[in-house]
Amino acid sequence: MTNDEVVGAGEVRPGQSLRSRALCAVRKPRPDAVALALLAAIWILIIVIIHPIGNFPLNDDWVYGKTVKLLVEHGQLKFGDSFATYLGQVLWGWLFCLPAGFSFSALRLSSLVLALLGSWAMYGLLKEMGVGRAIAFVGSLTLLTNPVFMSLASTFMTDIHRTCGDISILIRERSQNRIVVRHSLRYTSRLFRG
């Protein structure tokens, strides 16, 4: 490999060693990393403003919380009367309850973390579709700051888990099969319609 073949190392200067150019390239933050860090900073600011802390259920998240509580306190995985399939959600909430025991605050934290991961996944999906960094950032920020998304991320309802799951399915289909995204979107919209 010659000095001229280094990708992303900046301007080629005569006499500059491959090692010194590689070190310069490492020091520069990657634009995608900056975008993801900015999304995280905005999300943290939103969380600080709305302050979604409290050991009490919101909406119907007590149904899903009850299953997590049984798993944390008794080691039993017993689903309630709900027909929703939420095994992944229960296990995700269980992980967040392990350090300090069951609480609705821990369950909310699990949803908030998942919402941030979902916005990052949306950024990745948009980039995978060939959208530029700026548009991918705006699209991810739109998801993250959507009032409905923010409201549901402050609960342990299934909506955020489903949304993030759908985004990850689209990424998987897009990257593994290289299928046309409109087919994936059409399939996902059929899921919502029943």
Q: Which residue has the tokens 């973390």?
A: 113
Share of the chain above pLDDT 70, in %: 72
Q: Is 98 helix (H, G, I), strand (E, B) or coil?
A: coil
Q: Is residue 18 part of a domain?
A: no
Query: What pLDDT score was predicted for residue 84?
Result: 57
Q: Is residue 141 part of a domain?
A: yes
Q: Is residue 5 part of a domain?
A: no
Tell me: the pLDDT tens digits for 70-86?
A: 999 999 887 766 555 67
How many independent structural domains does the chain possess?
A: 1
**Joined tokens for residue 67:** 């299953």
Q: Is residue 4 part of a domain?
A: no
d(C-alpha 37, C-alpha 137), whole Å: 11
Q: Is residue 15 part of a domain?
A: no
| Global confidence as pTM | 0.74
Q: Is residue 95 part of a domain?
A: yes
Q: Are 13 and 112 in contact (CB under 8 A)?
A: no
What is the secondary structure of 11-54 as a DSSP string? S--TT--HHHHHHHHHHSPPHHHHHHHHHHHHHHHHHHHH----
Q: 129 CB contacts (<8 Å, ≥6 apart)?
A: 174, 181
Query: What pLDDT score was predicted for residue 86?
Result: 79
d(C-alpha 92, C-alpha 96), whole Å: 7
Low-confidence residues of the chain, pLDDT below 70?
A: 1-29, 80-85, 176-194
Query: What pLDDT score was predicted for residue 181?
Result: 55
d(C-alpha 79, C-alpha 89), whole Å: 12
Query: What pLDDT score was predicted for residue 191?
Result: 59
Q: Is residue 124 part of a domain?
A: yes
Q: Are 90 and 102 in contact (CB under 8 A)?
A: no
Strand boundaries in 28-121, DSSP class E = none
Domain region containing 107:
29-193
Tell me: the pLDDT tens digits for 2-27?
A: 444 444 444 556 666 665 655 555 55
Q: Is residue 41 part of a domain?
A: yes
